[in-house]
Amino acid sequence: MKTKKSLQSVHNGLMILHLFSTEKSTWGVTEISEELSLSKSTVSRLVSELVEEGFLEKNGKKYQLGVSVLCLSGVITSHSDIYSEAKPALETLAAKVNETAHISILEDSNITYLHKVECSQPIELLSSIGKTNPATCTSSGKVILAYQNDQVLNKILHYELVKCGPKSVTDKQILLNQLKEIKKQGYAICVNEMFDEVVSIAAPVRDFTGEVIAAVSIVGPLYRMKQIKFDDYIREVSLASNEISDKLGFLTFS
């Protein structure tokens, strides 16, 4: 019963947010109550909670959308920009190295794949657009984590590290040492960490402020992605990540 009531409150809260538009950007409690056929007491309680969380703000005697909505909108726009700018570079990268190419972002302690371009001989991997994998077991996750602040790292290190593949790093100090080296060299390589007999190599993508917001990676079987080819892979992945960073407005100065 409590769960059902909570879900109804979430539904009603979302219905309130959906009322706001460019045509009518401010609403009063009475107006909301009449429009949604909800009691004024229910609307008043939900509006107060939405104000507290920053999704609404007071505008005289009425309410308008708050900064939290703007922040979410910025995230969506950012992800859309990354996706559109990355697509050509990923297609070129996958064709050059003949391995599957991804671009992914960090969400909490996981990486989420925004786009994926298969090679001519793809292997069966548990990666698809929208899917998440533990950041600490992937080259994409590690290369993004290498550039994060202490607050982000401490949040992830608060919990036990996940073990996926046979070489997953579960020692927190070893992981921190790896992240320092990754930041120094500008790329990450994972062998047998997410899956057995699988290699992934990633490089960071920066936005116009210079912040690392995503990672480009290639993934393939160990029998194809041999260590003797790693330098070539690193070069191509880095070229792709730099191209996307350029399109996102990041300027490098020699």
Indicate the CATH number of 77-247 among 3.40.50.700, 3.40.1710.10, 3.30.450.40, 3.40.50.1820.
3.30.450.40
Q: What is the mean pLDDT of the chain?
A: 85
The pLDDT of residue 208 is above 90: no
> Cβ distance 247 to 122 under 8 Å?
no
What pLDDT band is residue 254 in, cutting at 50, 70 and 90? very low
Amino acid at 112: T
pLDDT of 61-90, one tens digit each? 899 887 666 555 445 445 556 767 788 999
Residue 58: CB atoms within 10 A of its CB come to 12
pLDDT of residue 226: 93
Phi-psi region of 107 (alpha: psi -120 to 50; beta: other; left: phi over 0): beta
User: What's the CA gap between 230 and 49, in Å, rounded?
Assistant: 53
Looking up tokens 């992945």 gives 237
Residues ≥6 apart with Cβ < 8 Å to 240: 89, 90, 92, 93, 101, 203, 216
Domain definitions of the chain by residue range = 2-65, 77-247
Looking up tokens 């792709």 gives 240
The pLDDT of residue 130 is above 80: no
pLDDT of residue 74: 46
**For the ranges 149-153, 205-209, 236-240, the one whose mean pLDDT is highest:** 236-240
Domain 2-65 grouped into CATH 1.10.150.120:
no
The better pLDDT of the pair 166, 73 is held by 166
Q: Which residues pair with 217 in a beta bridge?
A: 102, 202
Average pLDDT of span 246-251: 83
User: What's the CA gap between 215 and 240, in Å, rounded?
Assistant: 10
> Cβ distance 127 to 104 under 8 Å?
no
- Whether 2-65 shares its CATH topology with 77-247 is answered no
Cβ-count burial 200-222 (b if 16+ within 10 Å, e if not): bbbbbbbbeeeebbbbbbbbbee
The better pLDDT of the pair 153, 79 is held by 153
User: What's the CA gap between 168 and 176, in Å, rounded?
Assistant: 14
User: What's the CA gap between 238 and 146, in Å, rounded?
Assistant: 16
User: What's the CA gap between 130 and 125, in Å, rounded?
Assistant: 14
pLDDT of residue 3: 57
Q: Which of 2-11, 40-49, 95-104 has the lowest mean pLDDT?
A: 2-11
